[in-house]
């Protein structure tokens, strides 16, 4: 037997299978790159917002994007701004921190206030807003630029009023004036203020005590005014009742006098005798003493005889 036939040769590599694996890996990598690229090219704008597309190296690019999905060039970025109503609360009882602030009044008092306002950004001015604020998002603009403009507007208004007016008497007037100044300060920058209101006003303890005393005094004065008005009404009522009674008595007296006059005019001797007989019960008076006599009118006997003869 030939020794050459017994020599074992090494197995040759499976070249087709290796090529398939390399091709599959390349396809997988390509798919991953496509997915990553597609992800980078898609941008979703939330409802109520609009987006400004910009390049980190070239600034603002393209039109403003409305809500929904959009395809953008790779490696571009989008910053969203609210174009529908956003409400901002600046209060002492905030979830994260105390966002209230102190203001001064005309009489030198310090007052702590909470405020609430609503706003939106003009869609046509979003590129300018992006440029002015160097790409800052809306919450940073609210906490910085907008809050500073709000403090300035409030301070400019409240220094024209004393603490009692700020706390109650002129509160609606203050709301209106601060709203107008705050709105006018932001409008040129593309920020539209819709509403403003002081949600809480907290004077210092001394001022609050003085305000309460003034309120109590005013309430007492109002009570006295009401009582005086009630007394006046009651006196007027009694006067009217007295006048009514007096007039009734005058009318009654006049009626009685007229009745007496008519009665006097109608009396005659015959009528008197007639009324006397009509009221007689038929019994003769009882007489005592020898000289007692009963005098009746003579014509009464005549009348009685005539009536009997008949």
Instruction: List CB contacts of 124: < 8 A, sequence separation 6 or more.
Output: 64, 190
- Per-residue pLDDT tens digits for 30-49: 667 656 655 566 778 889 99
- Per-residue pLDDT tens digits for 59-68: 787 778 888 8
* Mean of pLDDT values over 167-191: 93
Question: If you search the block for the tokens 């203050």, which residue do you land on?
Answer: 174
Lowest-pLDDT choice from 18-22, 41-45, 158-162:
18-22
> DSSP labels for 122-133?
-GGGHHHHHHHT
CA distance 99 to 93: 8
- pLDDT at res. 302: 44
Alpha helical stretches, state H, the chain: 3-6, 15-41, 126-132, 138-141, 147-158, 163-164, 171-186, 205-266, 269-278, 298-309
- Per-residue pLDDT tens digits for 235-292: 777 878 777 787 787 787 887 777 777 767 766 666 666 667 767 666 666 655 555 5
* Mean of pLDDT values over 89-108: 84
CA distance 230 to 207: 34
Instruction: List CB contacts of 75: < 8 A, sequence separation 6 or more.
Output: 40, 55, 56
**pLDDT over threshold 70, residue 188:** yes
Query: Alpha carbon of 217 to those of 168, 207, 211, 223, 265: distances in Å?
Result: 15, 15, 10, 10, 71
- List of E strands, 36-85: 42-45, 49-55, 59-60, 68-71, 77-82
């Amino acid at each position: 037997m030939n020794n050459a036939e017994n020599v074992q040769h090494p197995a040759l590599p499976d070249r087709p299978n290796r090529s398939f694996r390399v091709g599959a890996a390349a396809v997988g990598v390509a798919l991953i790159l496509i997915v990553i690229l597609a992800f980078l090219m898609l941008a979703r704008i939330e409802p109520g917002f609009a987006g400004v597309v910009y390049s980190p190296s070239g600034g603002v690019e393209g039109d403003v994007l409305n809500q929904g999905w959009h395809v953008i060039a790779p490696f571009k970025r989008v910053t969203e701004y609210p174009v529908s109503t956003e409400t901002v609360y600046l209060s002492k009882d905030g979830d994260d921190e105390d966002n209230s602030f102190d203001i001064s009044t005309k009489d030198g008092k310090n007052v702590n206030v909470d405020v609430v306002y609503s706003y939106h950004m003009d869609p046509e001015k979003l590129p300018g807003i992006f440029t002015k604020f160097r790409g800052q998002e809306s919450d940073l603009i609210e906490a910085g630029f907008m809050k500073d403009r709000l403090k300035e507007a409030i301070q400019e208004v409240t220094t024209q009023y004393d603490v009692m007016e700020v706390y109650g008497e002129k509160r609606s007037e203050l709301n209106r004036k601060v709203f107008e100044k705050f709105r006018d300060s932001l409008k040129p920058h593309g920020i539209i203020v819709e509403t403003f209101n002081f949600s809480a006003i907290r004077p210092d303890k001394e001022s609050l005590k003085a305000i309460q005393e003034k309120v109590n005094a005013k309430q007492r004065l109002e009570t006295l005014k009401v009582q005086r008005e009630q007394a006046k009404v009651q006196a007027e009522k009694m006067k009217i009742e007295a006048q009514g009674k007096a007039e009734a008595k005058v009318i009654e007296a006049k009626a009685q006098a007229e009745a007496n006059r008519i009665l006097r005019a109608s009396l005659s001797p015959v009528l008197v005798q007639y009324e006397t007989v009509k009221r007689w019960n038929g019994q003769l008076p009882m007489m005592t003493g020898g000289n007692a006599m009963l005098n009746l009118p003579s014509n009464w006997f005549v009348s009685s005889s005539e009536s009997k003869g008949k």
